[in-house]
Amino acid sequence: MLIIGLTGSIATGKSTVSSLLSSPPHNLPIIDADILARKVVEPGTAGYKAIVNYFGPSTPELLLPEDPQTGQRALNRPALGRRVFGDSEERKRDRAILNKVVHPAVRWEVYKSLLYYYLKGHWAVVLDVPLLFESGMDVICGAVVVVAVNDPAVQMARLRARDAHLTAEDAENRVRSQGDVREKVKKALFRNRVAEENTDKGSRGVIIWNDGDKADLEREVNKAISAIQTHSPKWWSWLLLAAPPVSVAAAVWNMAVNFGLQKSWDQKAKQDRAKL
């Protein structure tokens, strides 16, 4: 089964792309990390308790009013967001602590979902993770798709139109917290490098540009899936399902390639910084 990592930055259109991929003609199952991240911090979970214990004493508005039906108080996500989004050292520290609580639990849910869809016989599954590269989950992906826009102003305008409660500062902090989407584009394209030729070819990293309307976006999505299927046809996924040892070998090989690419990327980034 091919794992297609889907990422981008906030308000670049990743959710719309995810919806298109889950609909005809593609009909791909989606593992949405945002949904799983909510699941693992629901009242009563270990994640919920850890967040309340750490953030509760210094964040009076952390919890919503008690639900009359369940008697529970869910997390106030906007309030938590204000605590962790931003560039200050305090917010970076708090965001790191939040990630340490949420990320391991989300990973476990992701692995369970991957096994489920593999056993169901799907040729591919979409792993929708905003921080795909940052969390290191790109190493398990056979292909990575980045949804991007060329103009950061378009991204900001879309975010504020979608979340009207955000101030300009809040919106800017959220965009910055997910990293520059242009860097994600570069990293995705780097996955296509052919060592012998040092060229950007292949479908291990695919970019979907979302600067136009929905019709333009649909064409970009179709083109991306076509490119991926060219290098990873459905018959290969069915072979992996029929022969588990081959599937394990393919997964190990894929991760080895991705680790090698990650090492090369880190070396390149270090060299680029040295030139500054």
In a domain, 261, yes or no: yes
User: What pLDDT, on the 0 to 100 scale, is given for residue 178?
Assistant: 66
Mean pLDDT of 138-164: 85
Which one has a higher pLDDT value, 142 or 203?
142
Spatial CB neighbours of 9, under 8 Å, sequence gap ≥ 6: 130, 148, 155, 175, 178, 179, 180, 181, 184
Instruction: Provide the 3-class DSSP secondary structure of residue 12.
Output: coil
Are 151 and 239 in a shared domain?
yes
Question: CA 135, CA 179: separation in Å to the nearest integer?
Answer: 12
The helix or strand, by DSSP H or E, that contains position 161, with its residue range, turns out to be helix 152-162
pLDDT at 114 over 70: yes
From 121, 147, 178, the end of a domain falls on 121
pLDDT digits (tens, 9 = 90+) for 59-68: 989 999 999 9
- Quote the domain boundaries for residue 170: 1-29+122-269
From 121, 138, 155, the end of a domain falls on 121
Report helix, strand and coil shares of the chain as percent, to nearest 5. Answer: 60, 10, 30
CB 209 within 8 A of CB 17: no
Please count the structural domains in the chain: 2
pLDDT digits (tens, 9 = 90+) for 24-47: 999 999 999 999 999 999 999 999
29 CB neighbour count, 10 Å cutoff: 16
Residue 179 pLDDT class (50, 70, 90 cuts): low
CB 185 within 8 A of CB 208: no
The pTM of the full predicted model, rounded to 2 decimals, is: 0.83
